[in-house]
Chains A and B, each alone.
Chain A
Amino acid sequence: MHFRFSVLATITAVAIACTGPVQAADIPAPKGTVILTVANAQHAANVGDVLQFDRETLAVLGLETIETTTIWTDGKQVFEGVPLAVLVELIGVETGTFFAAAINDYTVEIPVTDAIHNGPIIAISHNGEDMSVRDKGPLWIIYPYDSSSKYRTEVIYSRSIWQLDRIEYVE
């Protein structure tokens, strides 16, 4: 509940700042190191035909916190990141698939329908710290595994890609 308010607050803050809904043009081209590139991001592209984020521009989309255990860690973990739903909203699609790829070119398919409220986030911090590549950074798709058994399946685990740096939208 708490993080939902913060999301709303963030979105509202952004909306007030930009005097309008979040638009492609609203995402500035990253000034720092690009940590995420969204290909085929429709009208939301900000660098050429892709949409690129650095840590700051990604954080502007609004951060949400998920507290959960994972099969790759030991004990309760706190992840903070941008809900996938926000990204989906940003690029303005309702159907289709994301092809999410990691640094080592490992790629998984995430259907757009996974991107719901209280669903998966693109985590940018783990237990309050940014993630290095050695700690499965810079980005890690985290589902709220503890909230529902439907998030504790092989498919969901395979979609929980870490060391993420690219996403391609395919209709």
Chain B
Amino acid sequence: MPPNTHGRLKTGRTILVLAGLLALVAITVLAGNVLREFKSQSSAQSDNLQWGLSQIDVEFLEFNGRLSAQFHPRDIRRRYDVFYSRIATVRQAKVFADLRGSLEFSNHLSEIEAFLDDTVSLIDVSDTALKQNTTQLAALADDIRPVVRMMSNAGLNLFAERADAQRQAVTRTLSQLAFALAALILALGLGVVYLIRLNIQISRRERDQKQTATRINTIMKTALDGIIVFDEAGRITDFNHAAERIFDCKAIDVIGQNMGQVIVPDHLRDAYNAGIKRMRKSGGKQGLGKGRVQLEAKRADGSLFPIELAVQSATTDDEHIFIAFLRDMSKQVADQAELIQARDKAIAGEQSRSKFLTTMSHEIRTPLNGLLGNISLMRETSLNSRQDLLLRNMETSGRLLMSHVTDVLDIARYDRGKVEIQTRPVNVSALLQDIVDNQSGMAAAQNTTLDWGWVGPAQHWINADPDRLQHILMNLIGNAVKFTKQGRVSVSVQWDKGRICLRVEDTGIGISDNLKARIFDDFVTGNTAYDRDVSGTGLGLSIVKRFVTRLGGEVRVQSALGKGSSFIVEFDTTAAEPTDVDAAPPPVPEKPSVPLRVLVVEDNEINRFVVRNMLVADGHDVSEAHNGQLGVQIANEQFFDLILMDISMPVLDGRKATVAIRNGNGRSAKTRIVALTANAMAQEQKDFLAHGMDTVLTKPLTKPALRAILEDVKPVIIQPVTDLIDVTHNLETREVLGAEVYEVLYAKFHSEVTAFSSWIRLDRAFEEIAERGHNIAGSAATFGAVALRVALLKLEKAAKSEDHAAVTVAIDELVSLPSDTLDALAKNTLTAPD
């Protein structure tokens, strides 16, 4: 029952009780009145007095009747006395006080008393005298007779009035009593009604409570979760079937026991006790788990197992109780562990698959690059028309294979989450035009027209990832062209306030409904007789789907079998300002005029071969190293204008080799190093740059790309003569000696200088320093190495004079001079005409 109902009932009850009490008091008072009335009736002796009053008349008549001669004077006297006594009584008796209060009655009484006073002297005489007085007495009695009558009448009237008043009072009191009784009866009646209602309510509540109890019992019994009810002290008051099952014990054994001892494992006991303490302190508001918590619990046999526990508190009339809901999580935990294991396995499997795909595609691409490079080289030789055709076929097959491998690699990368979106301004119109141009040959070959155009106003520049967008459109348009013969492929593009819609429609073979549902899945290819002509990995559309999703857009297909298909790509983007970067692609550089010294570090022999041939064909001087370690060695020994560095190599990979060159302080430490890789991902490119490379060249290597790189490289400008060498003198020496002799002598000089520069130290004997310095100074003069000669002579002089400080200075000057001189001489020789 809600408290307000309770309160209302209480108020009602109080009012009823008060009303009843009031009625009871009223009845008591009235009953008292009535009793008093009756008592006064019974003790007022009105009858007796009335009789006594009327008796005055009678007695007077008796007396009067005897006032004649025939009566004995004694008799007269007695009657007189009786009458006298009556009047005396009326005068004295308190019961006549009311009557005496009446003026009329009182007057009459006084008159009668006057008569008695007058007559007493006539009575109290001898019999004889009395006899003689009789006549006189009779006369007096006759006079007083009407007064006696009037007095008794007046008295009777008064009595009658008084009786009337009394009756009225009684009637009134009785009426009041009746009223009070009625009120009491009403109150009692209401009380009865109230009690009946209360009874109904109580029995209903009892029934409800019984039902609730039964329901709760049933719920507790049938609940699959264990339910344990305990009080603030932690004593168990209820323990349901499920709990019995879970803890493998009987409710009767644990009820009344402490929760902590029954289900809490020993190592959690302290934490549990602290929780209970906190709970008690806070009146049950704290110390409860927040929602469901996973804990360990203890079975009757002491074994531990995981449970999920939620504790709720409730307040009954006089105490806090706590209801714990528990679930045996053993199976779930085991299942979860199994699931986690399965997931880990799956992830590992996925990773290894992805890794496998990446590796495989890389392993396929490397030889394929070689193949394509060789074909490209072969095309530069003189070929007859048949060879040219065969070569073209080979190249087509090779490029197709390359695109398949790239597809697989893209999928693998996407699934590894390694596809990064780089948003920048893209000219959609230019992009579409390029693709259409690219595909128009293929379309023309199938007698298909290929066109594109804007629907509505054109928005040429948008912000998007040009590479992904190109990939998407290339795949869709390529597919459309592939599957359309003697028909039409039209591409439309529409800009609508921040959303671009690209639609590729064809009149090709169309897609069956069955196929449509999984057209964007991996490795899905059509299966009609018609498309046997058409090859594909079935990854094109799944790549489209992935990239479109990555762009935050969606792709869908509409198609009717035999009539054609439409692929629609939509994604949100923003309009962009035109930029010049992409506007005009740089022209393919021409063969450079300046020959460069290039070091190619590449483990694959064929690739090395291709690169070397491309460079040599352009007139460059090429050195080779077939692993990173050798590359470092050569780069330290010689000066190069450019180093092309493969990334994956045995012994030492491209990154480490680059770091070694940069830190080695060798002759090519500052040379431009270009990474040569098939891994064209932005993240990796950054990584290469971080390792000290200057730029990245993506395989397969093309001549234009290579030339563009070489364009940027400026050959090292030869030092001015006055500084290091006398160029003219050097060239003259060479001319005089002849190139071969010069080279032999130069090699000797080179080794002398190198040996000296690594030998010279302050702690060498001054005599020996002077001697070797002198010798090399002579050779330096021959080769025109003027700066070196001057420095060596200075050293010789200092050593001879044993000037320690001067020797120190001279040696310091010789730290980089020998190698600089050799570089200058080597460069000078290069520019020399043979």
Interface residues of A (CB under 8 A from B): 69-74, 103-104, 106, 132-136, 149, 152-154, 157-158, 162-163
Q: Mark B54-93, 1 if CB is under 8 A from A, else 0.
A: 0100010010000000000000001101101100110011
Q: Is the CB of A71 within 8 A of B95?
A: yes
Q: With A106-B55, A132-B81, A135-B88 given, can you name 16 additional A-B contacts, CB distance below 8 Å? A: A71-B93, A72-B93, A103-B81, A104-B59, A133-B84, A134-B88, A135-B85, A152-B43, A153-B42, A153-B43, A154-B47, A154-B48, A157-B45, A157-B48, A162-B85, A163-B82
Partner among B55, B59, B89 whose Cβ is within 8 Å of the Cβ of A136: B89
Q: Which residues of A contact B93 (CB under 8 A)?
A: 70-74
6 examples of A-B residue contacts, CB within 8 angstroms? A71-B48, A73-B94, A74-B93, A103-B81, A133-B84, A133-B85
Would you give the shortest CB distance from B162 to chain A, in whole angstroms? 15
Q: Which residues of A contact B49 (CB under 8 A)?
A: 71
Q: Which residues of B contact A162 (CB under 8 A)?
A: 85
- Pairs A-B, 9 closest by C-beta atoms: A133-B81, A72-B93, A134-B84, A152-B43, A71-B95, A157-B45, A134-B81, A157-B48, A134-B85
Q: Which residues of B contact A134 (CB under 8 A)?
A: 81, 84-85, 88
Would you give the shortest CB distance from B72 to chain A, in whole angstroms? 14
Q: Which residues of B contact A73 (CB under 8 A)?
A: 92-94
How far, in whole Å, are A157 and B50 apart by their CA atoms in the complex?
13
Binding site of B, secondary structure by majority: helix, strand, loop or mixed? helix
Give the interface residue-count category, chain B.
20 to 34
Q: Which residues of A contact B43 (CB under 8 A)?
A: 149, 152-153
How far, in whole Å, are A104 and B63 apart by their CA atoms in the complex?
10
Q: Is the CB of A133 within 8 A of B78?
A: yes
Would you give the shortest CB distance from A29 to chain B, in whole angstroms? 22
Q: Which of B763-782 contact A (CB under 8 A)?
A: none
For B41, give the chain A residue with the smallest CB separation.
A154
Would you give the shortest CB distance from B718 to chain A, in whole angstroms? 160
Given contacts A71-B93, A134-B88, A135-B88, contact A103 B42 (CB under 8 A): no
Q: Is the CB of A103 within 8 A of B84?
A: no
Partner among B48, B62, B79, B89 whose Cβ is within 8 Å of the Cβ of A158: B48
Chain B CB within 10 Å — which of A72, A103, A106 has the most? A72
How far, in whole Å, are A72 and B62 apart by their CA atoms in the complex?
22
Q: Is the CB of B42 within 8 A of A154?
A: yes
Would you give the shortest CB distance from A96 to chain B, in whole angstroms? 24
Q: Which residues of A contact B88 (CB under 8 A)?
A: 134-135
Q: Which residues of B contact A152 (CB under 8 A)?
A: 42-43
For B62, give the chain A residue with the smallest CB separation.
A104
Would you give the shortest CB distance from B239 to chain A, in whole angstroms? 75
Q: Which residues of A contact B47 (CB under 8 A)?
A: 154
Q: Which residues of B contact A71 (CB under 8 A)?
A: 45, 48-49, 93-95
Q: Which residues of B contact A153 (CB under 8 A)?
A: 42-43
How far, in whole Å, are A136 and B85 apart by their CA atoms in the complex?
6
Q: Which residues of B contact A106 (CB under 8 A)?
A: 55
Q: Is the CB of A103 within 8 A of B78?
A: yes
Q: Which residues of A contact B92 (CB under 8 A)?
A: 72-74
Q: Which residues of A contact B62 (CB under 8 A)?
A: 104
Q: Which residues of A contact B45 (CB under 8 A)?
A: 71, 154, 157
How far, in whole Å, are A134 and B77 apart by their CA atoms in the complex?
10
Would you give the shortest CB distance from B41 to chain A, in whole angstroms? 9
How far, in whole Å, are A70 and B43 apart by their CA atoms in the complex?
11
Q: Which residues of B contact A104 (CB under 8 A)?
A: 59, 62, 79, 82
Given contacts A154-B45, A157-B45, A157-B48, contact A74 B82 (CB under 8 A): no
